[in-house]
Chain A
Amino acid sequence: MTRRPYFVAAASRRQFLTWSAGALATTGLAASGCSAPEGSGSAKAAGASPSPTTLSRIGLDYPFTQLPLYTTLVKLSTAAATKHDVKLLTTSDASNPDTQATNLNTWVAQKMPAIVSFPMVFEAAESIAKAALDAGLIWVTYGGTLENQSADIQFSFREGGRLLGEAAAKWADEELGGKGKVAFLVDNTIELGRERTKGMVDAFTKLAPGVDVVAQEQAIDPDTGLSKSNAILAKHPDLNIVLGITDAAAYGGFKALQQAGRKKGDAKTFVGGQDGAAPSLLAIKQGTFYRASSALAPQDIANAIVDVPLAVAAGKANPSVQVPVKLVGSGDTAEIDALLAQNA
């Protein structure tokens, strides 16, 4: 007849908390053991540029851990580093600039011999990069240039946008007689997005002045791309072109057009994006109206992540690299297959 009170029995709750604390402590100890820095070894390197023989670790700080490219990059960079007997370590910034700054400061304090960082806010990274250089560490800026750095890995984000914009404008000229309607799915929140947006919009509007720009909407993921495109299509059912700042957003536009009744191979429709994401590459390969993607080869980026800091450590002149971006279309089957293999 007795019923347990509505609140939890104290004993069971205490037991649970004890077990949880034990499990957390064990996990924490294991994690700290697994990722312990080369404390003394790093300390020896303090105040001096590491030589090729001391560069045993490279820290990759790629903040956008939610992107599929992150997994691919870590996998390929780790493999590339292993070939050089270098250990690749990573941060977990979860797209948060504050977390990124904290993680980078920790690496600098731990004397990580070489840091390859993609700063979310370039201005904020400047002081951390300076601290790294002052501590005798190698700092490689990914995706841009800082005043304080050993070298950089450059991508022309604007170039990627430009390639896509030009391809779409050329298509509009040939297939639509230079007329029609275009919607841009853009990003104005981070530097990378602004660069891509500018490259894409400027190139298109310059080469296809007769095409009406009916919308410029913020969208970087497929969900947003889909809902924004649905709204745009309600107002402009005769929309011909959707260009995306990312392949993910453009893929949402691709699906919206299909749901609006557009056939997969519609001759009067063009969708294009940037990144070289697998679903988009597959759609291009299948000959749908998803016609182009400005793609970066993950293997090229992974090689640069390892080779550039090694080149700096070896004292090579001009160690910086520019990773090429290429526009792939339905005719580039071999290139698409190679990109898909790297993304597998």
Chain B
Amino acid sequence: MTTATTATAAERAVPGPRALAAGGLATLRRQPLLLVLALLVLVFQLSTGSFLDPGNLRGIATDAAALAIVAVPLALLVISGYLDLSVGSTLALGALTAGWLAGEQAQSPVVAVVGALAVGAAVGAVNGVLCCYLGLSPFIVTLGMLAAVRGLAQQLFPLPLSGFGDGFAWLGGARIAGIAAPVVIAGAVLVAGALFLAYTPTGRHVFAIGVNREAAYLSGIDVRRTPFALFVVTGTAAALAGAIKASVLDSAVSGTSGAGFELTVLTAVLLGGVALSGGSGSVLGVLLGVLFLGCLQNGLTLLSVPTFWQQMAQGVALVAGAALAYFGPRTTR
């Protein structure tokens, strides 16, 4: 009796091939981008022969880290029915603040990063107050902030900054257990985002607010505080990504740092199946969106595809992602 019970438990613990296949199919059905990504990787590997080299994969992961760090909180914001288009400029301001503190002000790397995070949080707080508490359109507000913060960065730091010191270089160049520090940070952000969304009441509130704000309010959810916090976290994450980029490049330029980044990160979020109208999406989807863009960019470069074809390919990828998100099943709670 005992033996039979143990055997049954073991059978339950180790699912059979049929169960595994069913689980895999269910995942594929929820995340159709996974299949597209797998095909993309296969095509690039067969055509270049070096796509899956460890060095190249490390390069893709490091390049995609900053994108992932911002994409996760932005996805949560979009799920809650809001949007932040100012992340590119916030990234630039964060990069410049961190670089200025580490370089010209000779502050410790910790102070430099904390300073950048504070600046990013401040930008996010302004966005949050205007959108969540004053009810202004997130599209207009964050588009305005995109220009205003860029202008502020150029006014404060008109000339390029460089030479931030070896200590600050740790943030972008160090390896933790053989993995680049930015990738470790991005991994932590992805895990935290997934846990927050799946296991916390506030995570469920994010979906509820995105699906129907009025219904969420009537059910007792504070429909302003949660999106406000997400704006602050998104701004902070953008500044962190900026500090990482400044560390990697050992330089920051106010006019060009993070230019166009807002569209790239939004593309990753939408490719990942997050609905622009709010209420659905997942962190796994965002990870796939980030990896898809990273692999696409890298593979096209490896294949020496001409510039304008690369732009076309990226545009087509966005449309394909939007179609997948529209026709595929939605992840809601």
Contacts and interface: CB of A to CB of B under 8 A. Distances in A.
Interface in B110-167: 133-135, 154, 158-160, 162-163
Contacts of A344: 159
A26 interface: no
A255 interface: yes
Nearest to A279: B162
Interface stretch (A3-11, A101-109, A114-122, A131-139): A3-11
Contacts of B56: 231, 234-235
Nearest to A226: B249
Interface residues of B, number: 43
Nearest to A213: B304
Contacts of B216: 6
Contacts of A343: 159
B250 interface: yes
Interface stretch (A32-40, A53-61, A217-225, A331-339): A217-225
Interface in A255-285: 255, 259-260, 277-279, 282
B163 A282 contact: yes
Interface string A222-258: 1100111011111101000000000010011001000
A68 B159 contact: yes
B134 A259 contact: no
B205 interface: no
B283 to A, nearest CB: 24
Contacts of B203: none
Interface in A192-225: 215-218, 221-223
Contacts of B135: 7-8, 13
Interface in B291-333: 297-298, 301-302, 304, 307-308, 310
Contact of B255 (A68, A216, A227, A237): A68
B162 A255 contact: no
Given A68-B158, A277-B160, A216 B301 contact: no
A16 B134 CA distance: 8
Interface in B249-306: 249-251, 253-257, 259, 297-298, 301-302, 304
A156 interface: no
A278 B59 contact: no
A234 B53 CA distance: 8
Interface in A281-301: 282
Contacts of A13: 134-135
Which 8 A-B residue pairs are closest in the complex by CB-CB distance?
A: A66-B255, A234-B56, A6-B217, A279-B162, A71-B158, A8-B135, A218-B307, A231-B301
Interface of B: 48, 50, 53, 55-56, 59, 62-63, 133-135, 154, 158-160, 162-163, 173, 213-214, 216-217, 223-224, 245, 248-251, 253-257, 259, 297-298, 301-302, 304, 307-308, 310
